[in-house]
Structure 1
Amino acid sequence: MSLCCYLEYIGVTVVIVAIVTIANIFSTKKRDLKGKHVLITGGSSGIGLSVAHDVARRGASVTLVARNVANLQKAQEEVEGTISSISGGGKVQFFSADLSSNAEVAYRVVKDAEASLGPVFMLVNCAGFARAQKFEDLSPQLVKSMMDVNFLGSFFITQEVVRSMKQQEEGVIVFTSSQGGLVGLYGFTAYSAAKGALIRLAESLHMEVKPYNITVTVCCPPDTDTPGFEEENKTKPIETTLISEAAGLFKPEDVARKLVDDALVGKFFTTSGLEGYMLTTLCTGMGPVTDALSFFSQVFLGGLFRSVSAFYLWSFGRIVETEHQKRMASKKVE
């Protein structure tokens, strides 16, 4: 064997050993939800309700938290149907509460929920809403409401659950951000800011709770076929609609399944679709390294994805400019 071939062989061996070592360091055994307590905010509809069905099928007991009592009662009946279809299923309960109002509300919900079903093992923050409007059209009340519900609602209840999880020295926390939390988009000035704040919260919290065997996951779903999405579409500027269509429309049960699977192995980011994979890879920044595949994707695909993103941004810019020119032409005709 020549010296060059020998050195090449050594180099390949070192790379393989490094990959295997890193994979072992960041590999996390998938956690089991059988007999565990999962608390879901925004659990009466959409992704939250789909998460409830998914964890119920895995044998968990479920606490649903939302504001509308009628929707919660209907959701409870549906999840109970899922539980009855499997052997050894758990229980389901609900609490009507506005978690964004103050920390005391979150405290009472967690204490009452744990009194019935035991310590919360997994918290899934799905409560939130979007309103897409031009920046100057956003009212102060709407901006405050989006920040309160999308950020503070998750902050307060997570703070209370973390106290409990640290005592148990185990737990899984999930924040539901958005692809709009990874990249600012036309019409989403307030929404993207609120959802982006959740990602920074999750990064910081991940560092704090890791010694206690608590993992933190951020879900960044694309547009998902939910009642909230239908409501969001009522005020969307045409530019926002055309830009959002690029990622497609996903089913809530598919998003929920991926969310639970990734959270149970401790992945920091979870998403759906090719655009979601590209965005979470490209926007990881100084985010936690929790699995080998994501780490190598970030290292080796970052440059490629940045090039692709430039095309996306150019196409988004063209949409905005085209619609602007249409409006100008329409005003001239008038």
Structure 2
Amino acid sequence: MTSRNAPRHVIITGGSSGIGLALAKAYLAKGSKLTLIARSPERLEAARGQLRFHAKEADIGLQSADVTDFAGISAAIAEAQQRFGPCDLLITCAGVVHPATLEAIDIADARRQLDINVMGTIHAAKALWAAMASAGGTMLFLSSGAAFIGLHGYGPYCASKAALVGLADSLRMEAVGTKLKVAICFPPDTDTPQLAGELPLRSPQAQRVMGTVKPWSADAVAARIVSQLQKGRSEIYFGMTLLLLARFGSLVRPLLYWWYSRGGRK
């Protein structure tokens, strides 16, 4: 994919809802062929039902696979490319969050966040790395504003999203001399089914920090991602607060933690 042309074939993991589904709509509208990968066949079919209004059904491919299973995700990606040709843009949207303090969290829930958010991204990227490094294209990892600041009850989630920063930086170095570009984005709270399920579990301490910003719509997040990728951006931010945390985190975070400590335990 060049910065000016729409990608011919977009593969989105976790594309059956939320930001992934909004991105699917945006790229179908631009004329891209699209493959959605998610675990649930039922949710994939529901997504296709929504996407029919935005493109020809023949341009929409569905693959049921679990991103934590490298063999399974590799097979799904191979089938997708057999149908629509080489992948020009991989977007790793598959992710999960389960707010809970370290004392209270079930270790299986902690591990699941790391497995899906980090290993799921690595699996999809590895499955396409050799082909895209040779033929060209972009890999976009969906991180989070939680990559930049510790949040009460979000330890494994923050760790997983921060890990994607290191992953993207490292893979960007490995991509030097190839035709592949590695990008990462940091969405804020976004109005999605996942956020709806997360909010009842969010602690008052976390809400004190996170509840100060109105969630973005999934369509607005998708529109910014599409626009920024077209401009060739390798890092995509949403709002001044996240940009400041990314660029000046060592200065901004102490102020935020000081502010939180003054009222976070009330």
Q: TM-score, normalised by structure 2?
A: 0.94
Q: SS of the counterpart of 2:212?
A: helix
The 5 A counterparts of 1:185-200 are 185-200=151-166
Aligned-pair Cα RMSD in Å: 1.9
Q: 1:123 aligns with which of 62, 81, 90?
A: 90
Q: SS of the counterpart of 1:172?
A: strand
Structure 1 residue 31, shift from structure 2 partner: 3.4
Q: Which residue of 2 aligns with 1:144?
A: 111
Q: Which residue of 2 aligns with 1:201?
A: 167
Q: State the alpha-carbon separation in 2 of the partners of residues 71 and 272 from structure 1.
A: 28
Q: 2:40 aligns with which of 59, 65, 68?
A: 68
Are 1:241 and 2:207 counterparts? yes
Q: Which residue of 2 aligns with 1:37?
A: 9
Q: SS of the counterpart of 2:66?
A: coil
Q: SS of the counterpart of 2:140?
A: strand
Q: State the alpha-carbon separation in 2 of the partners of residues 173 and 75 from structure 1.
A: 22
Structure 1 residue 262, shift from structure 2 partner: 1.7
Structure 1 residue 29, shift from structure 2 partner: 6.4
Deviation track 1:148-177 (CA, whole Å, cap 9, x = no partner) reads: 111111110111111211231x11100011
Contact 2:29/2:54 (8 A) holds in 1: yes
Structure 1 residue 259, shift from structure 2 partner: 1.3
Q: State the alpha-carbon separation in 1 of the partners of residues 216 and 203 from structure 2.
A: 21
Q: TM-score, normalised by structure 1?
A: 0.76
Q: SS of the counterpart of 1:246?
A: coil
Q: State the alpha-carbon separation in 2 of the partners of residues 129 and 29 from structure 1.
A: 30
Q: Which residue of 2 aligns with 1:49?
A: 21
Change (3 A) 1:79 1:157: same
Q: State the alpha-carbon separation in 2 of the partners of residues 166 and 188 from structure 1.
A: 34
Q: 2:183 aligns with which of 207, 210, 217?
A: 217
Q: Which residue of 2 aligns with 1:162?
A: 129
Q: State the alpha-carbon separation in 2 of the partners of residues 198 and 259 from structure 1.
A: 17
Are 1:313 and 2:253 counterparts? no
Deviation track 1:187-227 (CA, whole Å, cap 9, x = no partner) reads: 11110011111110000001111321211111111110000
Q: Partner amino acid for 1:39?
A: I
Q: Which runs of 5+ in 1 are unaligned?
A: 1-27, 284-301, 323-334
Question: Greater strand percent: which structure?
Answer: 2
Q: Which residue of 2 aligns with 1:15?
A: none
Change (3 A) 1:90 1:203: farther
Greater gyration radius: 1
Q: Which residue of 2 aligns with 1:7?
A: none
Q: Partner amino acid for 2:59?
A: K
Structure 1 residue 281, shift from structure 2 partner: 2.2
Question: Greater helix percent: which structure?
Answer: 1
Q: Which residue of 1 aligns with 2:224?
A: 258
Q: 1:276 aligns with which of 237, 242, 249?
A: 242
